[in-house]
Structures are given as structure tokens and as C-alpha cells.
A and B are shown apart, each in its own frame.
Chain A
């Protein structure tokens, strides 16, 4: 079967893909983040509740199996899931701390809790990143877990994507089939030739992990 990268503009449609179809989604909006962490503008997002979410994304990103993943949580919910210690006031907006998980995190997002019981988290507020905040908030309203699996929008060993062309190119070369560019971004120019067909047969993660 041959497929194209699907570009999604509507937030509810993006949530349907994440929750109902359990798809990996590339998220592209606004300016890129400075530094090594993806903070919701150049991110790959996924449903963190899946028990094998880490295995799936490690495979898609071609990363080593022992490497942990990060997540983004609404700042107001962070202390329910993680021992925030002195970070309660300012949060962890730049994903700089691997924070000890609480029981609730072990239960709801098991694959994101690393072998040492920590998770490298980003807290987000509406002021910091309104679209990303509202996406996670709505995800929380529908699932009961106000957290998204968040990893940098790149493949193993590559630089983070910068332009929308880089984003689509990364999708074209991987099993990431969905690209969310929020409608708040306005019109986005994407040349037709940028969208390529790719094979989606036995390598597709939906098939690959369906029996897991």
C-alpha cells in the first residue's frame, strides 16, 4: 500500500488521531525552540497511556532501546504525577529535570517512567504555549490523563526539523504519517512535490506492533 503524509489543521481531528487511531503525530507550529529540547513547536507527540509507547517511538525514531522518553504535562497537574520538589512554583518549562514519578504516573503512563523511576518532563502553561496547552488539556478531558508523549521532531542522529519542508521530509522518510500544523498558523505554503508517496505495508508501525 502507498500512502502520503496527512496534514491535519484541526485540533479535534489531531486528538482523534492520537486517541482513537493511536497515531504518532508530528507537531509543527511557530518558531523553533532554541536548545536541544522540543517543547511543542517541533515535537513528535503520541498517546502516553499505551504500555508499549516507548518501544513504538524508539523504533520509529531508530533510537536505542535503553533511552528514555519525555512528556509534557499541564503545569497545574504536574505535582499529581511527579514529585516536583522546588519546581512547584516555576515548573519545568524547558525539560531540564528527570523527575521522580508518583504512583499515578506508574499507573497511567507506564512506558514513560524510566528504569530509575523518573521521567524527563516539560510543564506547560497557556501563557507559554497556548495551542500546545489546549491540545493537552483537551486530551486530558477526553482521556483523564493531561499528559502527552513528547519527543523531538527528528529521526535518530539528525538535527531537529526547522522548516515545514524538513517536517514533511522527515515524515516521508519514516513511519510518521500525520503532521499537525494548527490552524492558528494561518496559511502554510507547501509545494505539491514536497508530498511524496511512501510504502506503508509491513514496516508500518500500526501493523508492526498490532500484535504486541
Chain B
């Protein structure tokens, strides 16, 4: 059985899976010489496929970070009437958003149906499918699998590379990421998974999702400043987290950005990198906080250190939660982009001396293609008994 798995988010990667083994991983960015390259509906063909002579596989699976989104627009009436705007912001900030709640707000405020004060539009709804279709066409494939399991694939990848995979030992897998898929977009729009805890019993068993946190912070924009428009945009922000259960899984809906996004935003704000995707640089800066020789940029370094320490406490809480859920397991696999925080990775070992940690070597989104291929292979084996 041959599987080709393609990650179409940033750090685009292609994985070939043959006879039960991951045989090759290719990263498109390296072939293009363009760091973190991401396909778009306008540019979706992968040069790696032709350069590496990859042919039509038996099965094709795509994984992505999910490009969908719900956009809110406010009428001029709202922009000009501060009191009305304040009421709308108050309504949005009352609770974390659900489709039902949005309908209620629309009902309350859109009195005149011909001139709505608030309108809402699905954005980028087909972008992933356009990209997937273009790549599938390159491979002359008509059928493919596309499943929104970004964090699950990170966890599977981390487990695969860990020393416990070959021994078929159980692990706790924690995925913490800048963002992920909007798996509950139909009921809770705009929330991306940012932290997930899985228990993996062994390589033949589907990982069990035990807990997840989802954030709608992407709606907030990137610290654009205090204009009235931005204030309206940020009305999606609710200060209180919503704790609930989705499909039997304890879930937290929040408006706080993930640790990874915090680092990326801080990286951009501190002038480390214009694209912002450089948490390693923030960690490098944080280390110099209070070091006299770096006085000229002392403030930047202190801010970075504050962010690092906050993230450390938050991530230790998640680790503790995972251990409480699985008291008999002391093996933890860390995956997702935030696992690239090597400084804090070491501090977890100091805080939890009884635990052995393994960090996914492909913790960026490139690794999700590895996880997707493993997951599909297991699924095919279980459902059809297709031989590896």
C-alpha cells in the first residue's frame, strides 16, 4: 500500500508511506529555497512532486491548518453611533461565540433587515479544496482524503519519532501550536484548536483526545492599534473562557491567543522578524534580560522574558493536567510549533523529574504529513484490512 500525504499549511511537506513505513519526507520550502513557503489558491502546484518524480499513489491524504473564517462587518450607523457600538461590543463580549449566539445578536440588533447593522460572511471557505484539487490533479488523482485533524497528526508524528513507538509503549501526547484546524466551526465558528492532550495506547490504536483548548484570537487581528474599527473588530473578544464538553471531550473556548502566537506576535512587535514566526529569537532575547552588556535593548529583553515565564507556567499547568488524567503514564511526547521552545522544554524536565519527555523533531507543520500518513494507514487497515 502506498500513501502520499501532503501538508498544505506553512512548511508544506510531502510524505511517502510504503509497506507500513514512512519512506521519505520532502519539504517544499527547501526545494523552492523559500522558508516557510505556503501554497495559496493562486499558487498551489508543488515543484517537489516533479523534482522528486513522485507518482500516483494508492491513497492521497491532505492536511492543512484550515483556511476558513467568519468575517463580521459593521454598518456606518454602528461606526457613527458610539453608544450603539458599545451595546454591540457588550453583547459579543458576554460569552464565547457560538452560531446560536451570533444569530441571537443578529436578531437583536438587525431590526431593519434591508439595512443590517451587522453582517457576517463565510470567508475562504473553498481555499483548502482549491489547493487540494490542484495538487491532486498534478498526481492525476481524482479522489483523496482531507480531514481537519491538525493536532492529531502532530501528536501521531511525535509518537512515531519517539523511542517508544517501536516498543509499542503508551504515551501522553501534548500538541501545542500557534493554531490548528477549526474542527468545530459549524457550531463554534473561528475557534482553532491551540492545545490538545491525547493518550496513545500503542501504535495500532487511534490516539484518544482527552482535552482541548480552542481560541478565536485569529479574529482579533494583529495588534493594529486603537482605532474605532479595530475596537469593533475586537468585539469578538470575550474575557471569560467557556468550559464545556464537545463530543464527550472537555473543551475550553477562549479569546486568548496561543503561546505560539504570543511568541510570534511578540517577535514581530520587538522587531525580530517582520513575518513574526520566530519564537526562537524571542527566547534568545529573553535570556539577556538583566544582562548589563545588553542594556541598549534591555526593555525588549525584559518583555520577552516576561512572555517566556508566563508561557512556562501555562504549559506546566497543561502538563500537570495531562498527568492527572493519566497517572500511570510518565512518558510525554510534545509536538506542535510551540514545542520548538527549547528553553522551556528543559524547564519541564526540572519541574517534572519523574517524567521522561520527547520532543517531536518535526514539530513544525511539516510533521503533520507524517502523522496524516500513519493515521490513514491505520484507518485503512482497520476498516478494510488492506495489507501493508
Query: What residues of chain A have their CB less than 8 Å away from a CB belonging to chain B?
Result: 32-37, 64, 66-68, 85-87, 89-90, 93-100, 114-116, 118, 120, 157-162, 166
Contact = CB atoms under 8 A, between A and B. Distances in A.
Interface string B275-294: 00000110111011001001
Given A34-B25, A162-B30, A97 B356 contact: no
A160 B30 contact: yes
Contacts, number: 105
Contact of B355 (A33, A37, A86, A114): A86
B343 A98 contact: yes
B286 to A, nearest CB: 8
Interface in B137-158: none
Contacts of A89: 356
B349 A159 contact: no
Contact of A158 (B35, B297, B355, B356): B35
Contacts of A33: 361
A116 B33 contact: no
Contact of B361 (A34, A87, A90, A98): A34
Contacts of A98: 283, 342-343, 345-346
A186 B346 CA distance: 39
A-B interface, 6 closest residue pairs, ranked by CB to CB distance from nearest: A96-B359, A94-B361, A162-B30, A116-B287, A35-B362, A98-B342
B29 interface: yes
Interface in B29-43: 29-35, 37
A35 B363 contact: yes
Nearest to A42: B30
A64 B287 contact: no
B65 interface: no
B353 interface: yes
A99 B359 CA distance: 14
Contacts of B13: 34
Contact of A66 (B288, B340, B342): B288
Interface string B28-68: 01111111010000000000000000000000000000000
Contacts of A36: 340, 364
A36 B287 CA distance: 21
A195 to B, nearest CB: 19
Given A158-B33, A166-B33, A95 B342 contact: yes
Contacts of A100: 346
Contacts of A87: 349
Given A34-B370, A116-B343, 5 more contacts: A66-B288, A68-B284, A94-B161, A159-B29, A166-B33
Given A34-B25, A67-B284, A159 B359 contact: no
B342 A35 contact: no
15 contacts: A35-B362, A35-B364, A64-B272, A66-B284, A66-B287, A67-B281, A86-B355, A89-B356, A94-B161, A98-B346, A115-B288, A120-B342, A158-B33, A159-B29, A159-B30
